[in-house]
Amino acid sequence: MSTASAPASVSIAPDRSRVRRARRAGALLLAPSVLLLAIWSIVPLLMTLWYSLEHYNLMSPGRVFFVGLRNYAFLFSDSSLRSAIENSVTLVASVLILSVVLGTVFALLLNNEFPGRNVARLLAISPFFIMPPVAALIWKNLLLDPLNGFIGWLLSLAGLPPVAWFTRFPMLSLIIIIAWEWIPFATLILLTALQSLDSEQIEAARMDGAGPLSRLRYIVLPHLGRPAAIVVMMETIFLLSVFAEILTTTAGGPGDATTTLTFLVYIRALLNFNIGGASAAGVLAIVLANIVAFFLMRAVARSLNR
Amino acid sequence: MRNRTGSVLFGAIAWAAALGMAFPIIWMLITAFKTEAQAIAIPPLLIFRPVLTSFQTATSGTAYLSFAINSVVVSVGSTVLATLIAFPAAYAMAFRPGRHTQDLLVWMLSTKMLPPVGALIPIYIIFRDAGLLDTRTGLVIVDTLMNLPLVIWMLYSFFKDIPHEILEAARVDGVGTRQQMIHLLLPLASPGIASTALLAIILSWNEAFWSINLTSAHAGTLAAYIARFSAPEGLFWAQLSAASVLTVAPILVFGSLTQRRLVRGLTFGAVK
Amino acid sequence: MQSMLRLGMMGVASTLLVGAASFARAETLTIATVNNPDMVVMQKLSPDFTKETGIKLNWVVLPENTLRQRVTTDIATHAGSFDIVTIGTYEAPLWAKAGWLDRVGDLGPAYDMDDLFPTVRNALSYNGALYAVPFYAESSMTYYRKDLFAKAGITMPAQPTYAQIASYADKITDKAHGIYGICLRGLPGWGENFAYLTTLVNTFGGAWFNMSWEPQLTSPAWEKAISFYVDLLRRDGPPNATSNGFTENLALFSTGKCGIWIDATVAAGTLFNPKTSSVANEVGVAPAPIAVTPNGSHWLWAWSLSIPTTSRHEAAAKKFLAWATSKAYIHLVAQSEGWVAVPPGTRMSTYENPDYLRAAPFAPLVAASIKSADVEHPTAMKVPYIGVQYVDIPEFEGIGTTVGQDVAAALAGRVSVAAALQNAQNSTRRTMEDASYIR
């Protein structure tokens, strides 16, 4: 670094007041974001907490009264709660794995030079541009419809009988649709990160005789550690609140096969208009999501801080 | 020479993957030019005379253009706002990490954990009292706040990729914080910023829950527009495809323009 | 001279006043509505209304469930975003009871209230006052393929029974050639599969609740009805039945894949039209089948326009209500779209019009079905609720959908019918206890 001509005396002993000034400046830079997010999250959170302790049904807004923990008792004695949590976990974990693995593969493929690379990149990322309800409808009708859909036709060419995807494999169908939507997100982030990979380092490694596979293993993949961690954190949050796709295809069923915790909140809030009950389920969702985030953070903290 | 065949092979695989991912969209685009009867034909029609009737149905009697303009205003507005607010925050967390930076990051993410449907009534009441119902301003505020954690996280990640010696050296040379951010960080991180902005715009563009629930006659975005096609009566595949094409076309065009920024790569070599 | 001046000034003043009044009358109404074909036509023709009255219209179009939730949120929080809302026979009495709707019985002498079908009027009233005006109404009936029946040597009787329907479906099913004997709604939802299934349970002699509001989902009538449904669809129905609602079944029937379909009377317009149906010349209609009792065998639903009490343009809104459901409007649609496309099921005069009867040969059956679908007597036994294919309580949306999911699980083969009904009974009971209908 040519700028190493700075006078040594400045960088030897950390100046206490300089550090404090730097910290204050940092805090000032952070202040607007923190303040806004605080207001945005705390006010609805407090109101939701409050509603969860009340009997409040939208259809009779005049009859609102305090009921303590009754909504929670009702929620926890609901037999569909456990399966809702299980479904949430299954959905999120499956899509996460698919999007990180395939996202990495696609990012590696699209990082090379080949004719028409720009167009190919845009195509690979295009599913993310589609609105979730539209994506669900396209898959449900144009592709997966057993009698008139494209995939149904492909299956018939192979001599297979029509498959009722959303009846026999509801969770799998949902995972396919949602993974299709979110793999591009992972691809984009990982691809951008690949571009910041120092090409000199790779050149040096190649000249030292490292083959493509060991270059991949020892240089490229570790470099992708942090962006992959980011992808996991972000996608977890989004996937936990997936809703439109479920509503459009299975509406949580058959039975409660695809009812996730978020969908359970929706059923209570907007189908029963039971705001009290929905708020209780919402509070539970926040608590669980925070627990998940805590453990996730522990697991990826190392990559984040590298 | 072995490299050449290797890269041809990988190029082909890359194209296969890209086409595979884009196939449902391509199929949707094709279906948009069919009639309803052609749309549900089996075997699926690849050769047919394209018509524009489905597009006509999709735009007749609706103010498609005003929905589209609202979408653009809200998406771009909220992304610009979010980026402006997030930029200094990400800078602080990436280059001046404190004891609580990690906790702060997690907390910011946690603000997105309340299912929006659970916050509907409180937000609706607040917006009603603030006169923000059915306004673009209201939607910009909501989208900014919803995307802020994402933008901060992603900018933070891309900033961490930039060797902090560069900024250290500038600071030692007496360059102020603001100038560091504008003249050094901005150009260095521009692909990352572009990716972040693109993703934020897409998320805002596709955001349906608040767009539908907080608007009525004036501020509806394309999410509200497409809602009417999601459960019509009668045959609707071609109509739905046409409406979807109209919804995704502007953002796809925008995306292809930003792609070039991503391709440009970093100019690390010059600095090092 | 002075009196001339005064006259002149009065003339100018009154012109200005009239001008100001008509300028003030350039109000705007915000209308929340669903995206069905009749509404699409209404939007298309609404410039006529604006020309007549100077009142401008803003349309907010949403899918049914989203609309209901959106409007409920707005009205319950007194936000006043909408001047006119589209509601059904389910919401009308409920929202009237909650004090959310204006009375609309006073739309002027030219409106001719008595021309509305009495059953429809009744379904949109509360305590004897009308709270919404119907712009289209429907019941349910049986559609069948005359060609397939002829080939199998079957004649459809004047009033089929479910036992007969089952035997017909068995005879004409030919899955190898893509012909499914019967298509029925399977998509879970209180307004989807359970709109149909409630009528099935009704005609098998069952009911949702007894007079003490206790759920009856494990009663013998329910067991018989749901088992019949599941067995029939498994034998003779299309593969993706639990994803098929009204829209999907309409697509299936109109592309020739179903032999029999029991569903909304409004489907007739699409099925009989050669432009939208490949079997237009082979469709026959018959009344909805019955089993043990004719009560509740076919449903009653009307989409109607109403005015929330939070609206600030009540007078203008009433003008629109009167215009959009008047006899003149029906003639307007006939001129612009043809008689087959006029909004069905609302006015008896439509069904006495020879032009209409010529364009819609199924019309007399529709009229008879609507006339005999009584929301106050939907079941064999006495019940504490109104509604043919729903129970008119706020909790029913959730209950109907949850039970709909349980039955879908049985149809998908994931649980037995008995287990599904037991689950349904338990969850319904819990909801009723939580809502304080029963202890």
Q: Compute the count of residue pairs across chains A and C with CB atoms less than 8 Å apart.
A: 109
Beta bridge partners of C209: C215
Arithmetic mean of pLDDT, A193-212: 77
Closest-CA distance of chain B to residue C250, Å: 6
- Interchain pair A230, B13: CB under 8 A: no
Q: Is B72 exposed, middle or buried (0-12, 13-18, 19+ CB in 10 A)?
A: middle
Q: Which of C370, C375, C387 is closest to C117 using CA atoms?
A: C370
Contacts of residue A238 in chain B, CB cutoff 8 Å? 112
- Interchain pair B216, C82: CB under 8 A: yes
- Interchain pair B115, A282: CB under 8 A: yes
What is the model's pLDDT at position C332? 93
- Interchain pair B118, A184: CB under 8 A: no
pLDDT of C20 over the 50 cut: no
Contact A85, A213 (CB under 8 A): no
State the pLDDT confidence band at C125, using cuts at 50, 70 and 90: very high
Which residues lie closer than 8 Å to A101 by C-beta, 6 or more apart? none
- Interchain pair C62, B125: CB under 8 A: no
Q: Give the 3-state secondary structure percentages of chain A, helix then strand then coil, rounded to 5.
A: 75, 0, 25
The answer to whether residue B124 neighbours chain A at the CB level (below 8 Å) is no
What is the model's pLDDT at position C123? 94
From the candidate CATH numbers 3.40.190.10, 1.10.3720.10, 3.40.50.300, 1.10.10.10, the one assigned to the domain spanning C2-138+301-359: 3.40.190.10
And the tokens for C218? Answer: 């494990």
Contacts of residue B262 in chain A, CB cutoff 8 Å? 121, 191-192, 195
And the tokens for C336? Answer: 């612009």
> Residue C250 in 3-state DSSP?
helix
Most C CBs within 10 A among B228, B236, B237, B240, hence the mutation to make, goes to: B228
Domain spans, chain A: 43-305
Q: Which of C29, C277, C167, C427 is closest to A78 using CA atoms?
A: C427
For chain B, positions 9-68, list CB contacts with chain A under 8 A: 10-11, 13-15, 17-19, 21-22, 24-25, 27-28, 31, 39-44
Distance of alpha carbon B95 from alpha carbon A4, whole angstroms: 19
Distance of alpha carbon B214 from alpha carbon B139, whole angstroms: 8
Most C CBs within 10 A among B218, B226, B230, B233, hence the mutation to make, goes to: B233
Considering only CB atoms, B233 lies closest to which of C44, C73, C246, namely: C246
Whole-number percent of chain C with pLDDT over 70: 94
The answer to whether residue B56 neighbours chain C at the CB level (below 8 Å) is no
Contact B176, A22 (CB under 8 A): no
Domain spans, chain B: 62-227
Closest-CA distance of chain B to residue C84, Å: 12
Lowest pLDDT segment from A204-218, B84-98, C375-389: A204-218
| Residue given tokens 């929706």 in the structure block | A266
Q: Which helix (H) or strand (E) holds C261?
A: strand C258-264
The answer to whether residue A241 neighbours chain B at the CB level (below 8 Å) is yes
Number of Cβ within 10 Å of residue A67's Cβ equals 16
| Residue given tokens 């209201």 in the structure block | B138
For chain A, positions 118-157, list CB contacts with chain B under 8 A: 118-135, 137-139, 141-143, 147-148, 150, 152-153
For chain B, positions 123-152, list CB contacts with chain C under 8 A: 124-125, 128, 133-134
Better-scored residue on pLDDT, B228 or C396:
C396
Which residues lie closer than 8 Å to C381 by C-beta, 6 or more apart? C205, C207, C210
CATH no., domain B62-227: 1.10.3720.10
State the pLDDT confidence band at C169, using cuts at 50, 70 and 90: very high
The answer to whether residue A67 neighbours chain C at the CB level (below 8 Å) is no
Contact B251, B200 (CB under 8 A): no
What is the model's pLDDT at position C273? 84
Considering only CB atoms, B191 lies closest to which of A51, A126, A192, namely: A192
Considering only CB atoms, A61 lies closest to which of C76, C187, C409, namely: C76
What is the model's pLDDT at position A304? 63
pLDDT of A16 over the 80 cut: no
Closest-CA distance of chain C to residue B234, Å: 6
3-state SS of A189-242?
A: HHHHHHHCCCHHHHHHHHHCCCCHHHHHHHHHHHHCHHHHHHHHHHHHHHHHCC
Q: Is A85 exposed, middle or buried (0-12, 13-18, 19+ CB in 10 A)?
A: middle
State the pLDDT confidence band at A221, using cuts at 50, 70 and 90: confident
| Residue given tokens 């693995």 in the structure block | A101
Encode burial over A184-218: b for 16+ CB neighbours within 10 A, e otherwise: bbbbbbbbbbbbbbbeeeeeebeeeebeeeebeee
Contacts of residue C427 in chain A, CB cutoff 8 Å? 79-80
- Interchain pair B152, A193: CB under 8 A: no
Closest-CA distance of chain B to residue C14, Å: 35
The answer to whether residue A146 neighbours chain C at the CB level (below 8 Å) is yes
pLDDT of A3 over the 80 cut: no
Angle at C7 between CA C2 and CA C9, to 5 degrees: 95
Contacts of residue A253 in chain C, CB cutoff 8 Å? 188, 242, 404-405, 408-409
Q: List, for residues B111-135, the tens digit of each pLDDT value.
A: 787 777 777 888 898 899 999 999 9
What is the model's pLDDT at position B96? 80
Distance of alpha carbon C117 from alpha carbon C133, whole angstroms: 11
Contact C104, C80 (CB under 8 A): no
Q: List, for residues C81-122, the tens digit of each pLDDT value.
A: 999 999 999 999 999 998 999 999 888 888 889 999 999 999
State the pLDDT confidence band at C237, using cuts at 50, 70 and 90: very high
Distance of alpha carbon B182 from alpha carbon B193, whole angstroms: 13
Considering only CB atoms, A237 lies closest to which of B112, B169, B222, namely: B112
- Interchain pair C63, B231: CB under 8 A: yes
> Residue C316 in 3-state DSSP?
helix
Q: List, for residues A232-252, the tens digit of each pLDDT value.
A: 888 988 898 888 888 888 878
Closest-CA distance of chain B to residue A69, Å: 17
Which residues lie closer than 8 Å to C165 by C-beta, 6 or more apart? C142, C182, C260, C262, C289
The answer to whether residue A262 neighbours chain B at the CB level (below 8 Å) is yes
Strands C84-87, C28-33: parallel, antiparallel or unpaired by DSSP? parallel
Contacts of residue C435 in chain A, CB cutoff 8 Å? 57
Strands C28-33, C56-61: parallel, antiparallel or unpaired by DSSP? parallel
DSSP structure class, residue C272: T
Q: List, for residues C272-306, the tens digit of each pLDDT value.
A: 888 888 899 999 999 999 999 999 999 999 999 99
- Interchain pair A196, B161: CB under 8 A: yes
Closest-CA distance of chain B to residue C361, Å: 20
Angle at C286 between CA C280 and CA C292, to 5 degrees: 150
CATH no., domain C140-298+393-434: 3.40.190.10
What is the model's pLDDT at position C129? 93
Q: List, for residues C312-351, the tens digit of each pLDDT value.
A: 999 999 999 999 999 999 999 999 988 888 899 999 999 9
pLDDT of C437 over the 60 cut: yes
Domain spans, chain C: 2-138+301-359, 140-298+393-434
DSSP structure class, residue C58: E
Whole-number percent of chain C with pLDDT over 90: 66
Closest-CA distance of chain C to residue A204, Å: 57
pLDDT along chain B (272 residues), means of 10: 66 91 91 81 77 82 85 95 91 82 81 76 88 93 91 87 80 77 80 86 90 90 84 71 87 75 39 28
A43-305 belongs to which CATH class?
mainly alpha
Contacts of residue A250 in chain C, CB cutoff 8 Å? 243
And the tokens for C370? Answer: 């609507």
Angle at C285 between CA C282 and CA C290, to 5 degrees: 140
State the pLDDT confidence band at C382, using cuts at 50, 70 and 90: very high
pLDDT of C30 over the 80 cut: yes
Q: HSE (CB half, 13 Å, CA atoms) of C298?
A: 28
Q: List, for residues B190-241, the tens digit of each pLDDT value.
A: 888 888 888 899 999 999 889 999 998 899 999 888 887 776 555 678 888 8
- Interchain pair B223, A191: CB under 8 A: no
Distance of alpha carbon A89 from alpha carbon A198, whole angstroms: 37
Most B CBs within 10 A among A111, A129, A157, hence the mutation to make, goes to: A129
| Residue given tokens 């490292």 in the structure block | A210
Contact C247, C193 (CB under 8 A): no
Distance of alpha carbon B50 from alpha carbon B72, whole angstroms: 29
First to last CA, chain C: 86
Arithmetic mean of pLDDT, C238-262: 89
Contacts of residue A264 in chain C, CB cutoff 8 Å? none
* pTM for this predicted structure: 0.84
Chains touching C (at least 3 CB pairs under 8 A) are A, B
Alpha helices in B34-95 (DSSP H): 36-39, 53-59, 64-95
Q: Which segments within B98-237 are labelled E, that is strand? A: none
Q: Which of C215, C216, C191 is closest to C204 using CA atoms?
A: C216
Contact C32, C84 (CB under 8 A): yes
Lowest pLDDT segment from A291-305, B45-59, C259-273: A291-305
And the tokens for A25? Answer: 């400046």
For chain A, positions 179-218, list CB contacts with chain B under 8 A: 180, 183-185, 188-189, 191-193, 195-196, 198-200
Contacts of residue A265 in chain C, CB cutoff 8 Å? none
> Residue C77 in 3-state DSSP?
coil
Q: List, for residues A44-67, the tens digit of each pLDDT value.
A: 888 888 888 988 887 776 778 888
Most B CBs within 10 A among A12, A30, A108, hence the mutation to make, goes to: A30
Q: List, for residues A76-90, the tens digit of each pLDDT value.
A: 887 788 889 899 999
Most B CBs within 10 A among C36, C48, C66, C275, hence the mutation to make, goes to: C66
- Interchain pair B195, A192: CB under 8 A: yes
Distance of alpha carbon A225 from alpha carbon B12, whole angstroms: 27
- Interchain pair B118, A285: CB under 8 A: yes
What is the model's pLDDT at position C1? 52
The answer to whether residue B232 neighbours chain C at the CB level (below 8 Å) is yes
What is the model's pLDDT at position A278? 82
Considering only CB atoms, A121 lies closest to which of B27, B109, B259, namely: B259
